[in-house]
Amino acid sequence: MGLRAPSQATKKPAFDVTKDIGLAHLPAFTIEELKQYDGTDESRPIYMAVGGVVLDVTSGSKFYQKGAEYNQFAGQDINDDVSDFTPAQEKELEATLSFYQGKYPKVWQLGRFVPPTAFLRSASLL
């Protein structure tokens, strides 16, 4: 008693996408929650999502605050549908994400989206 049959044993997945992209520690965020951080309320930070990763762009508020040049991106997922991206578009998304992640801290991940990884890109090329 107390022992599990081998078929019932808990197996770890061979590949954990969340850990592979370094987001395991970040809580999930919904699109509706993200919209609350669009720069219109000066008491809140300004967030935007790139490829499903929510970034705190408050340090660049001169670009993202209400009335600023890039405010349309604040509180938004700028890559809201990547399901039909070509490999070239996935590479462009990775470059965009790399740029923003190098500049702004990651604070959340969107719960509905997993950004493409090297593993997923290589699988899509098969």
The closest alpha carbon to 78, from 95, 53, 60, 46, belongs to: 53
Q: Average model confidence (pLDDT) for the chain?
A: 75
Integer Rg of the chain from CA? 18
More confident residue, 22 or 88: 88
Question: What was the pLDDT predicted at 10?
Answer: 43
Spell out the CATH class of 25-124. alpha beta
Per-residue pLDDT tens digits for 35-79? 999 999 999 999 999 877 889 999 999 999 999 999 999 999 887
Q: Model's pTM, two decimal places? A: 0.64
Query: In which element (H, E) is residue 30 found?
Result: none
Q: What count of other Cβ atoms lies within 10 Å of the Cβ of residue 92?
A: 13
Question: Rounded to whole angstroms, how far apart are CA atoms 123 and 126?
Answer: 5
